[in-house]
Structure 1
Amino acid sequence: MERHSLLDSLQLTLPEGQGAPEYPPVEQVLPQFLQLFASVGAQQASSKTKRGMVRDLFAILEAIDCQWLLRGWQENSTLVVLRDLVVALSTYAALPQREHDGAELPCKDPSYAAAASQAADVSLVFRSILAKVEAAKGSEELGCMVVGSFLRQVAGPMYIFAVTHAAEKPWNKPRTQSLAQDLLEDLLQVWGCQSVPEFLRGATEDEEGWFAVVMQSLKPELTKETWQRNPATKHVFSWTLQQVTRPWLGPHLEKVLPPSLLLSDDYRIENKILGVQCLHHIIRNVPGADLCQFNRAQVVHHALSNHLYSKEAQLMQVVLPCLLDLLPILERAPGRPSRQLPSAVPSDKVLRLVLTHMEPEHQLALRRVYAKNLPAFVERLGIHIARHLKRLQRVIVGYLEVYDGPEETARLAMLETLKRTIQNAWPRMTSRLTVLLQALLRLMWDTVTDRSSTPEPVTAALLQGATECLLLLDRCSHGQVKVLLQGVQHSCQDDRLKECLRKVEEEHVESFISTEPKREF
């Protein structure tokens, strides 16, 4: 074995008699390396010394075989030393700690560049170790059993290191990312799986993956006092969480719910969004019965409801769909009364608050987010949307009046909302016919006379949506729309508008009640 400056620095004792071995045993090299590595300070000169030690260690690992590295695995001594080595090198390449207030470091901070360079060197060391473990699977003396014993010691910290530096984040460089991605692939290959989700959850429902081990390794970094200090911790947690789906996520609910709530409760918008996305993934992939135990669903609902008062469109875009998936779980919770006053039903309370915020809202971005999610709320309440018709009508009419850009996102969504409202609460529409008819005709006139940059497909979609609403109103009012539209078509000069009105006038009057199931109010 070629001599390296690192070996000369270590106080190695070679056994006498029977000739000296070709190189010192691993039981001497790695522990003394760790002691020497820990004794070096954190100054710039010391950092250069550590970097040289890491590169020498890589050269040594490349020169030896798997027998030298893993021969003491059965006594667990070598594997414990390898675990300590992985932890020490991960700490060496860790990102700079932030202050308690979580202040962000600038993207071009020199400490990020140093961490990226150190992470590249450490990735090479880790890949070399994994290559030896992979080779050990074909060894008669070591066999495949060494893989499970090895991963039990290092899977958590090595996976966290790889995911931290494989992401496209400010603290990573292209070379660092590439090496970390290769490291993650090597880790999967050693375990014999095809993807990260399979590595975390296991190949089958009965097989235990490494998700619990990874979460346990992350746990010290995910407390209320520590999670903001490392900028990568939240990204590793959220990305890892979203790799595990139903039915594998349910048993780990206690590990993933508190950190998700911590993220959601932060004062920075990007952390709120990340936390809500984690909560949404949990809601979708954990059985409702588990969420309802110990009032977990109520806690999540309270956390999400607080975000409804936000004026950030990006946050609202993830909060509303999350609430929509949580509401059915809340309303099916054991022990909840089957009949409640409208003011006590979670779906009614949320919609009432959403409509209250929608009506005076003037930010176009936020109006679009509200409008896009409103049809789902109407479907969620079904016939009970009749409880909110007065305020819902004001919101629909108000939003149909306002042009919101070439894509007309809010108006198209409001037409869909009106359509679903008519289908669900059709017996209550006759008394609101005049107001809705005026709003739809005004929208159609504004659309055909629009001289802005609205694309033709958007114009056609607006006219089609308004025509469908007129047809539904005509059916549920037993032809009253035709009566109110008499003479309008003859005075209209635009061919597209005349064609839409012609479709309504030529529609055969059918009993809307006969085509719909009987509904009680």
Structure 2
Amino acid sequence: MRGRDIVSSTWYKIPHIESENSKSIFLKAKTTLQSAVNNLKVSIPSHTQEDLLDIIVVLAVNQQLQPWNNADLICCCQELLPQLLAQHDLEANMPHKLFEKYPKLCLEMNVLISSTLRRDQWQDHAIMCSFYTWYCKELSFPLVSEYLDILLPPSLHLVDSYIDEMKVIGVECLSHIMKESGKAELKWHGRSGVILDALLKLTYSKHEPLLVILHPTLIQILEVLDTDSNSVRVSKFCVLLALI
């Protein structure tokens, strides 16, 4: 069984997960993956490097409960992901090493993210939002710094969502991006100012899970801005006042 047999190479480009077509595709993915568990004793099908993108995406978006999966599929994908890494001589808890080992894979993922999670259409790609969240949080320095132009826009779109849960995910991604990238890169092209403006808008929220993660993330961006002695754009006092 080849990687392509897991699911059609275009499955993740379907815009609406609510559609019957999308449901049937995920049912096919579920059936195929569970068959791999039962018949191959949780063994990843043989695959080429070209198949990696399809396999990783279907495994990544089924690591947690989502509208398109269930507990059985999640359990299956959680077992298969470490085996995929093992086949590439990587430790089970280090998916980011796969990206370092295959730079071309990262480029393919970046193209996929940038082409689907644009400002005018990201809301129609819940599946890709889930993949982006997983991918972003698995990347580390220096790849995060290298891919800032790809990683930042989707996180800002999520922060700007009208859904509180999406805002939380966006702030989590921004926090990870700031943690794993250089302060100099964050200040280029006014990125730090854009991040701060997006975060300050959330201080009016009454959603407790959002506020819990928002406050330390605001401190993170202040630390980035504080390294620029010539910057007078932001008053730390004003930001701290917003936190009260």
TM-score under structure 2 length normalisation: 0.81
Task: Quote how far apart the aligned CAs of 1:328 are.
Answer: 1.8
Partner of 1:88: 8
* Structure 1 residues not aligned, in runs of 5+: 1-60, 62-68, 70-81, 99-104, 134-149, 356-521
Question: Which among 113, 123, 132 is matched to residue 218 of structure 1?
Answer: 113
Q: How does 1:331-480 map to 2 (within 5 A)?
A: 331-333=226-228, 335-336=230-231, 345-355=234-244
How many Å separate the matches in 1 of 2:23 and 2:6? 21
How many Å separate the matches in 1 of 2:201 and 2:52? 38
How many Å separate the matches in 1 of 2:192 and 2:171? 14
Task: Quote how far apart the aligned CAs of 1:189 are.
Answer: 2.7
Percent identity of the aligned residues? 21
Partner of 1:155: 52
Partner of 2:30: 120
Partner of 1:289: 184
Q: How does 1:44-63 map to 2 (within 5 A)?
A: 61=1
2:96 is the counterpart of 1:197: yes
CA deviation digits over 1:343-368, x for unaligned, max 9? x643111123334xxxxxxxxxxxxx
How many Å separate the matches in 1 of 2:8 and 2:234? 53
How many Å separate the matches in 2 of 1:191 and 1:209? 15
How many Å separate the matches in 2 of 1:126 and 1:159? 15
The CA RMSD over aligned residues, in Å, is: 3.3
Question: Which among 117, 124, 138 is matched to residue 229 of structure 1?
Answer: 124
How many Å separate the matches in 1 of 2:6 and 2:119? 26
2:165 is the counterpart of 1:270: yes
CA contact (8 A) 2:196 2:218 kept: yes
Partner of 2:73: 176
CA deviation digits over 1:19-68, x for unaligned, max 9? xxxxxxxxxxxxxxxxxxxxxxxxxxxxxxxxxxxxxxxxxx4xxxxxxx
CA contact (8 A) 1:292 1:330 kept: yes
Bigger relative contact order (CA 8 A; separation at least 6) = 2
Number of aligned residue pairs: give it: 238
CA contact (8 A) 1:249 1:286 kept: yes
* Structure 2 residues not aligned, in runs of 5+: none
Task: Quote how far apart the aligned CAs of 1:176 are.
Answer: 1.9
How many Å separate the matches in 1 of 2:137 and 2:36? 25
Task: Quote how far apart the aligned CAs of 1:310 are.
Answer: 2.0
How many Å separate the matches in 2 of 1:208 and 1:239? 17
CA deviation digits over 1:58-112, x for unaligned, max 9? xxx4xxxxxxx8xxxxxxxxxxxx76x6662662x887715xxxxxx6xxx9888
Task: Quote how far apart the aligned CAs of 1:281 are.
Answer: 0.8
Task: Quote how far apart the aligned CAs of 1:323 are.
Answer: 0.6
How many Å separate the matches in 1 of 2:10 and 2:161? 27
Q: Which of the pair has more CA radius of gyration?
A: 1
Opposite residue 174 of structure 1, the aligned amino acid is A
- SS at the partner of 2:8? helix
